C-alpha cells in the first residue's frame, strides 16, 4: 500500500481528503512529525502555493532519509498539497489566495484569521450587494509530487476543481469550516455548512480536484501492470 503524505495540519482538510480518496492508501500528515516545518505560502496563485508546500515537504522528507531518519518509503512517498479559497465576483476575485488570512490583512496579524473574522469581513464588504451580484466560487488546486527516486527532482502534477455558487447575506448552518456557512453551491438551496459532509464531499471544489487526481492515479496504476 502506497503512502500519501498530506502537506497540511488542517484536520478538516485531512478528513475530507481521506473520506474522498478512501482506504486504498496509507496516510501521513505533518502533525505526525513534531519537527515538521512550517510551510511557506508566498505565491500569489493557488497552483504556486500548492507546489511550494508539496515540494517543501518532499525535500524535508529527503533530508530525513539522508540523516537516517526517514523510515520506510522516505522521499519515494507521494506528497499532496492543496491551496484553495473563495473567489467573489463583486470583490474582483477576493479573498482568493488570501482566503484563510482575509481578516488579518487589515491588522497585519501573523498567520491565518479565525473563520468567524473572515466571514464577518466578507459580509461587511458585501453589505448592500444584491443577490444577483453575489456570485462566487470555491477553487482548489492540488499539487502532487513524488513516486520517484530521491536522487531525481520530482515532477509536480496539478489537479484543479471549481464549485460555483452564491454568497449568502448571513451565515447558515454549523457544519464544515471556513466560508462554508456563507456559500450555497449551484443546484442547492442550503449552504455547505447545512448540506453536510456526504454532499459536500461529492460536489465541492476539493472533491472535484481529488476526483481528477484519482483518475490520473488509476491510470498510472493500470499502466504499471505488466502485460503478458
Annotated catalytic residues are 83
Pairwise CA distance, residues 184 & 168, whole Å: 7
By the 8 A CB rule, do 95 and 217 touch? no
| SS3 annotation, 181-199 | HHEEECCCCCCHHHHCHHH
12: Cα within 13 Å, side-chain hemisphere? 12
Closest to 205 measured CA to CA, from 143, 119, 141:
141
Q: For the chain, percent helix, then strand, then coil, each to nearest 5?
A: 45, 20, 35
Amino acid at each position: 500500500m502506497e503512502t500519501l503524505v498530506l502537506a497540511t495540519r488542517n484536520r478538516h482538510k485531512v478528513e475530507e481528503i481521506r473520506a474522498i480518496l478512501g482506504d486504498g492508501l496509507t496516510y501521513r500528515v505533518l502533525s505526525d512529525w513534531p519537527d515538521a516545518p512550517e510551510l511557506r505560502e508566498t505565491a500569489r496563485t493557488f497552483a504556486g502555493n500548492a507546489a511550494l508546500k508539496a515540494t517543501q515537504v518532499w525535500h524535508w522528507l529527503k533530508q530525513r532519509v539522508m540523516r537516517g531518519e526517514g523510515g520506510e518509503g522516505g522521499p519515494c512517498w507521494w506528497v499532496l498539497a492543496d491551496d484553495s479559497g473563495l473567489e467573489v465576483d463583486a470583490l474582483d476575485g477576493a479573498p482568493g489566495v488570501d482566503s484563510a488570512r482575509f481578516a488579518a490583512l487589515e491588522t497585519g496579524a501573523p498567520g491565518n484569521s479565525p473563520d468567524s473574522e473572515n466571514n464577518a469581513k466578507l459580509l461587511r464588504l458585501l453589505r448592500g450587494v444584491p443577490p444577483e451580484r453575489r456570485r462566487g466560487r470555491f477553487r482548489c488546486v492540488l499539487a502532487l509530487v513524488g513516486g520517484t527516486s530521491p536522487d531525481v527532482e520530482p515532477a509536480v502534477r496539478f489537479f484543479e476543481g471549481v464549485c460555483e455558487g452564491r454568497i449568502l447575506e448571513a451565515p447558515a448552518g454549523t457544519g464544515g469550516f471556513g466560508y462554508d456557512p456563507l456559500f450555497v453551491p449551484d443546484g442547492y438551496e442550503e449552504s455547505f455548512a447545512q448540506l453536510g459532509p456526504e454532499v459536500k464531499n461529492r460536489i465541492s471544489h476539493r472533491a472535484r480536484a481529488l476526483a481528477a487526481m484519482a483518475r490520473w492515479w488509476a491510470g498510472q496504476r493500470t499502466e504499471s501492470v505488466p502485460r503478458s
